[in-house]
Amino acid sequence: MNKPRKERQTILGADEIYFLIKIVLEIRAATEADHDAIWDIFHVIVAAGDTYAFKPEMSRNDALAYWFQADTRTYVAENDRRVVGTYILKPNQAGAG
């Protein structure tokens, strides 16, 4: 995964210099143009098999179909116009979930 760009801001006071590091992310709705970047992130995380309850060998088509379901809102986080993260919002699981 790409490292987010850091901005450094200098604040002077009491003869000391403090550096604040700020990561700049833009969150926006995902589009079809983001499929490759989302797959790259999704595949690395899921293939490890220790974080999510997806089969590590899940195909690209199945992963993207899940990530872009009709009742799901899909977003990406960008840094310097590069997708560095993704998430979805969807209804909770039915029943005891």
- pLDDT tens digits, 8-45: 555 555 455 455 556 789 999 999 999 999 999 999 98
The CATH H-level superfamily of 27-89 is Gcn5-related N-acetyltransferase (GNAT) (3.40.630.30)
* pTM as predicted: 0.72
Distance CA 38, CA 87 (A): 9
Residue with tokens 């199945």: 62
| pLDDT at residue 50 greater than cutoff 60 | yes
* Both structure tokens of 5: 């760009």
pLDDT tens-place string over residues 60-88 = 999 999 999 999 999 999 998 999 999 99
